[in-house]
Structure 1
């Protein structure tokens, strides 16, 4: 079974999903963000098969989210660290965590608490407008065509439902 290539679709979500659109990739990014960098530590924490972990790490390195650094020789051992592009994914991971805490946590509560270093308070991610600071929700946003948009595979009908600018 061949994997669909989403990189050519004129959609930022599709292109992002091409890199981080599977659970293993997101969990690897979570673990690296939380401080696990060595292959063996990632494998032990996630319980992923080594070939699956290797493939996902390779995709994340090729996608520019992680950089691979050798930390030992004979045998060569590598650690994985966030790039600037990978650090920019952290707010997405925080938003996904907040959503999961609200909708998917069990009765015990959230499995992880996020603490903001600046103020020291426990927090949850929200997405806010860069202009006014209000929280962005489904009923408070609209969409209009951007300069990179086009009608094609993966976006065949999107243009018919977008608002005028």
Structure 2
């Protein structure tokens, strides 16, 4: 599953990718966010093999993205639910869905999932928001800068930053 780890890399993206693991884990997180919780339901939804599903569930649990809860004792059966940390990663799956919908990667039939406000029923989309003013910011207006945890490699990457954005 993982050929090389991200240990020692000063990168929040790499850290989240390491915690998630791989593409199968992203689909498992998607399904957990949709309310699936039983092993067989997750296997059916993703089409993943039993060995792969067991491995990914164990990885997600080890990284505290999910919790395993016993719901039956004889025989023992478990369900899987998102932890608070896991719910935060759902932003990643929603961002992937939003990009996929924009570029119609799943075909011309329209988005397979819609995300709506539970209270109003209105469609939702992820956006960048100015943390002080609450105003929306366009991607082309985002300027990455070195943060307090930046190392020399991060600073080197930023030297290649172009001012123009599409």
TM-score scaled by length of structure 2: 0.86
2:9 aligned residue: 9
Q: By how many angstroms is 1:131 displaced?
A: 2.1
Which structure has more RCO (C-alpha within 8 Å, separation ≥ 6)?
Answer: 1
Count of paired positions: 161
The two structures, once aligned, show a CA RMSD in angstroms of: 2.2
2:18 aligned residue: 18
Partners of 1:147 and 1:93 lie apart in 2 by: 27
Alignment of 1:15-94 (within 5 A): 15-94=15-94
Does the Cα contact within 8 Å between 1:10 and 1:150 map onto a contact in 2? Answer: yes
Q: What are the ranges of 5 or more consecutive residues in structure 2 without an aligned counterpart? A: none
Greater Cα offset, 20-29 or 116-125: 116-125
Partners of 2:36 and 2:141 lie apart in 1 by: 37
Residue 144 (str. 1) matches residue 139 (str. 2): no
Does the Cα contact within 8 Å between 2:38 and 2:78 map onto a contact in 1? Answer: yes
Partners of 1:118 and 1:2 lie apart in 2 by: 41
Does the Cα contact within 8 Å between 2:144 and 2:158 map onto a contact in 1? Answer: no
Partners of 1:98 and 1:135 lie apart in 2 by: 17
